Amino acid sequence: MTVVTNNKWIGQRTIRPDGMDKVTGRAQFAADTNMPGMIWGKVLRSPHAHARIKSINTAKAEALPGVKAVVTARDIVDFPIEKGAVMLGIQDMRWMCRNVMAREKALFPGHPIAAVAATSEAIAAEACNLIEVDYEVLPFAIEIEDAIKSDAPILHEFNKFEGKPSNIAGRIEHKKGDLAEGFKKADIVIERSFTTRPVHQGYIEPHACLISVAPDGKTTIWSSSQGQFMVRAMTAHLTGIPQSDIRAIPAEIGGGFGGKTIVYLEPLATLLAKKSGRPVKMVMTREEVMRATGPTSGSKSTVKIGATKDGKIVAAHGTFYLQAGALPGSPIRGAVGCSFTPYDIPNLLSEGYDVCSNRSKVAAYRAPGAPIGAYAVECVLDEVAEVLKMDPLDFRLKNAAKEGTKAAHGPTFPRIGYIETVEAAKASDHYKAPLGKLQGRGVASGFWFNAGGESSAQVNITEDGNVVVTTGHPDIGGSRAGIANICAELLGIDYRRVSVIIGDTQTIGFSNLTGGSRVLFASSIVVTQSTEQIIKTLRERAAKIWEIDPEAVKWEDGAAHPVSPNAGQFPPLTLKDLAEKAPAMGGPIGAGVQLNTTGADGGFGTHICDVEVDVDLGIARVTRYTAVQDVGRAIHPGYVEGQLQGGVAQGIGWALNEEYIYTKEGKVDNPGFLDYRMPVCSDLPMIDCIMVEVPNPKHPQGVKGVGEVPLVPVMAAVANAIYNALGKRFYALPMSPPKVLEVIDAPETRQAAE
Amino acid sequence: MAKVHVSTTINGEPSEFLCEPNDTMLDALRGPLGLTGSKEGCASGDCGACSITVDDNLICSCLMLAVESEGHELRTIEGMAQGEKLHPLQQKFLEMAALQCGICTSGMLVASDALLKRNPKPSEEEVRFWLAGNLCRCTGYDKIVRAVMDTAAEMRAQ
């Protein structure tokens, strides 16, 4: 494929196709839809962190006037443990069926035990209270330390690690060279251990769905998710309804960040709707979101890095323990595979452990696992550079991965843009700006794999000569705007003539989840190929009208033209002309392409963070921030910047404030936005972006995924900046005011500051 | 419990609705009144996605009882554009990519409008503190703050 070089719309800050609906309040999110005869579903949740469910009696709930249906684990399709994994993408249905409804045991406070549908939300909630559950309460373990102790309460007795029942559900490693030999060559070696707390994706829209099941089993789902096909497949698996009978319609999604890549409510609402014969609506409260949906892992990491005096990293070893929550599946692949990847390290061992504990099951969160690993690695790198008396960016440049570097997780890099990001950071005004007292500057880099995968598109020319593009991915950050730019560019028409919509599962071909920074990469490939087919048809039709060879017709500026005067002298035939003539010229004009896309290139970023520390209150405040990233090609720069800025804001929250806090009983003690403190507008400065464009040669427009990378470097950049301001290292997140104050109030810090 | 009859004014239109005594204004807007532009992100007044104005005072509609709207003037996101003509803030949010998922956008616009009515020339700090009650998880606020400041400058120039 050749990279498109004319640039009328690609690279322009066009108005997003869904923008008008969103600024006027018209946009339909999942909770905004109602149906005649609709009733409400509510979930009874476990109050215990760990308990065997001996019996559930729903008789009193069912007898309550207004109650129309009750479901428990008995109604959910079981995937028995001993029969082995049943994978749907990265999710094992054995865990999913136990996550949507507790089966043998309740594994965390908030774990669904039963669900009720009633004529009002209040009656459904009252009925939940009437369900009698006989629990045998068991000891629990939430923190990694507690879960990996030799005498830890075991969540899943069937799970063995090194021959014994264990909460360690898996281990992976990436290896390169000879670690022991590598460390022997090192002049300096630094080894540090770090912890991070679980943090939530923090989407503002709680999970919601409305589901109707007709008497013949035909099911319609309106829900907010990062993949209507994922919703359909998981619901089919868990309810036994065939996929052909489930139409999953993607509502506008009010934020996901990975957290809406699995189902919680849809199978329950489907079963309630089937039992009751009424459409069922379910909407989580914020508290339910915080207690029972996936945050990302808390972690415990140790990173050891050895370098020679001249600044070359010769060996590195990372060990990352990630908290999976109640069921296996923490993002160790991201921690193990991404953390060292910006660097060319000859001897490397990167290993990760997946640890179950009595907390809600993790869900993906923006570059899953990678920020956790990068935090540890990038903080140690900062220390190594300091000992070597090297500028931290020069140190990174000296060890940077480039074309030909073999990454420990497998690939040998093609042309990548990591070095460009470090150079751009170094050349930035920000990096050269002076700092005042109690101010500090930190840098860090990060990597994410990015992804391709299955995508489908249908492009149709309307009878009046405009364009409708349908794709199969929920638009979470502006992908419709990017697609409109690309399609308009290819057709040579105004982007406002291109309408981009997200199809439901029964009207567009299979398209994998919105996740992994894959959507614009993958969907623009299928949209490009569909549009190219249409252009071919348009040229053929013009050729037929002019009675010349199709090869003698070119498509330019939205119209067919003879390639040269020699081909014939004809006035151009526009898209509108050819659309009007379509019925007589072979029929409707449209094309669809379905592919398992490949060729996604990884993404790299380098960030600069300035902080100022209020030593009386312990508040570290980010005063200036610059995110540099190789974005491949910015199809819509506004929304590429938006991805960078949003990722940075989430990282600042993770670094400085956000954390799950538990009571002694193992319940989340801060399940609301007041106490789970995400950054608010007055917490942040402007977030500057430097977009480095090293186009992906395997993509028609040069696209690389951009959404995940921006979160990866942030926590380390902030931690390194705080060190630079205070002369004190922090090895645990969040660096919240009480923790910063503790360090400041230590006598040696006071002296240093004065 | 018998439902309560409430007469109020919403976006300049006289409106009547029935509600439970314990329904919030947000419940009433999204339920009987069918105005789903106001969103529920938390139901505790922490996220601002349900921001409306009552007699020109900015409030979280999840913290107000529906019955309290009796006799008052409410404005919601649905009343911000005048027919086909967008409010300058709406236009600027579109042009400056100041929204992504859009779930906070209604509240952000209502809150920003309330700010500019009080303070046509806000500093960046004033914008940031005024909007501190409106959570956005997508944008990092950068483009929102810029859009509000640019709109203020344009409105002053007119």
The token pair at B114 is 């309330």
**Checking DSSP bridges between strand A39-45 and strand A280-283, what pairing results, if any?**
parallel
Cβ of A642 within 8 Å of Cβ of B97? The answer is yes
The token pair at B103 is 């779930």
> DSSP letters of A665-724?
TS-BS--STTTS-PPPGGG---EEEEEE----TTSTT-----SSGGGTTHHHHHHHHHHH
| Nearest CA distance, A5 vs chain B (angstrom) | 24
Interface A:B, Cβ pairs < 8 A: 178
Distances (CA, A) of A251 to A27, A212, A282: 9, 15, 14
Q: Which residues pair with B53 in a beta bridge?
A: B58, B75
Percent of chain A with pLDDT over 90: 97
Tell me, what amino acid is at A13?
Answer: R
Q: How far is residue A107's CA from residue A94's CA, in Å, rounded to a whole number?
A: 14
Q: Cβ-count burial of A356 within 10 angstroms (0-12 exposed, 13-18 middle, 19+ buried)?
A: buried
What is the per-residue pLDDT across A310-347, written as a single tens digit (0 to 9) for each?
999 999 999 999 999 999 999 999 999 999 999 999 99
pLDDT (0 to 100) of residue B1: 65
The pLDDT-based confidence of A750 (bands split at 50, 70, 90) is low
Cβ of A204 within 8 Å of Cβ of B136? The answer is yes
Q: Which of A15, A25, A672 sits opposite B46 (nearest CB)?
A: A672
User: In a 3-state reduction of DSSP, which class is residue A576?
Assistant: helix
Q: Which of B46, B47, B142 sits opposite A687 (nearest CB)?
A: B142
> DSSP letters of B109-136?
HHHHHHHHHH-SS--HHHHHHHGGGS--
List phi, psi (to 5°) of A633: -140, 125
The CATH number for A33-138+205-254+260-292, chosen from 3.90.1170.50, 3.40.50.11030, 3.30.530.20, 1.10.3260.10, is 3.90.1170.50
CB A632 within 8 A of CB A560: no
- Residues of chain A within CATH 3.90.1170.50 domain(s) are 33-138+205-254+260-292
Interface of A with B in 263-292 (CB under 8 A): 283, 285-286
Cβ of B94 within 8 Å of Cβ of A19? The answer is yes
Check residue A478 and report its DSSP letter: S
The token pair at A111 is 């774990």
Whether cis (ω within 30° of 0) applies to the bond prior to A679 is no
pLDDT at A611 over 80: yes
Q: Which residues pair with B99 in a beta bridge?
A: none
pLDDT at A751 over 80: no
pLDDT at A371 over 50: yes
pLDDT at A3 over 50: no
The pLDDT-based confidence of A5 (bands split at 50, 70, 90) is low
Which of B24, B138, B144, B150 is the best substitution to test chain A (most A C-beta atoms within 10 A)? Answer: B138
User: In a 3-state reduction of DSSP, which class is residue B87?
Assistant: coil
Q: Count how many Cα atoms sit within 13 Å of the Cα of residue B12 in the half-sphere of its side chain.
A: 6
pLDDT (0 to 100) of residue A746: 83
Q: How far is residue A80's CA from residue A89's CA, in Å, rounded to a whole number?
A: 19
Cβ of A684 within 8 Å of Cβ of B128? The answer is yes
pLDDT (0 to 100) of residue A1: 38
CB A343 within 8 A of CB A136: no
CB A17 within 8 A of CB A500: yes
Within 10 angstroms of residue A529's Cβ, the number of other Cβ atoms is 19
User: In a 3-state reduction of DSSP, which class is residue A610?
Assistant: strand
What is the per-residue pLDDT across A447-499, written as a single tens digit (0 to 9) for each?
999 999 999 999 999 999 999 999 999 998 899 999 999 999 999 999 999 99
Q: How far is residue B109's CA from residue B49's CA, in Å, rounded to a whole number?
A: 10
pLDDT at A650 over 80: yes
Q: How far is residue B57's CA from residue A650's CA, in Å, rounded to a whole number?
A: 30
| Nearest CA distance, A583 vs chain B (angstrom) | 35
pLDDT (0 to 100) of residue A747: 75
pLDDT (0 to 100) of residue A2: 41
Q: Look at the block and give the residue holding tokens 């050749």.
A: A2
CB B6 within 8 A of CB B25: no
Window from A223-232, A561-570, B40-49 with minimum mean pLDDT: A561-570
Within 10 angstroms of residue B65's Cβ, the number of other Cβ atoms is 18
Task: Please state which CATH number belongs to domain A299-450+601-753.
Answer: 3.30.365.10
Chain A residues in contact with B136 by the CB 8 A cut-off are 204, 681
Model pTM above 0.95: yes
Interface of A with B in 331-350 (CB under 8 A): none
Q: How far is residue B134's CA from residue A22's CA, in Å, rounded to a whole number?
A: 16
Window from A202-206, A563-567, A609-613, B84-88 with minimum mean pLDDT: A563-567
Q: How far is residue A384's CA from residue A309's CA, in Å, rounded to a whole number?
A: 10
The token pair at A413 is 């890099």
Q: Which of B41, B80, B143 sits opposite A286 (nearest CB)?
A: B41
Q: Look at the block and give the residue holding tokens 């370098």.
A: A307
Q: How far is residue B73's CA from residue B9's CA, in Å, rounded to a whole number?
A: 5
Cβ of A23 within 8 Å of Cβ of B127? The answer is no
| Nearest CA distance, B47 vs chain A (angstrom) | 7
Q: How far is residue A207's CA from residue A707's CA, in Å, rounded to a whole number?
A: 21
Tell me the average pLDDT across A244-258: 98
- Residues of chain A within CATH 3.30.365.10 domain(s) are 19-27+452-597, 299-450+601-753
pLDDT at A749 over 80: no
What is the per-residue pLDDT across B22-64, written as a single tens digit (0 to 9) for each?
999 999 999 999 999 999 999 999 999 999 999 999 999 999 9
Task: Please state which CATH number belongs to domain A19-27+452-597.
Answer: 3.30.365.10
Q: Which of A23, A678, A679 sits opposite B109 (nearest CB)?
A: A23
pLDDT (0 to 100) of residue A745: 87
Residues 6+ apart with CB under 8 A from A754: none
Q: Which of B77, B101, B109 sits opposite A476 (nearest CB)?
A: B101
**Checking DSSP bridges between strand A219-223 and strand A246-250, what pairing results, if any?**
parallel
**Checking DSSP bridges between strand A439-448 and strand A603-614, what pairing results, if any?**
antiparallel
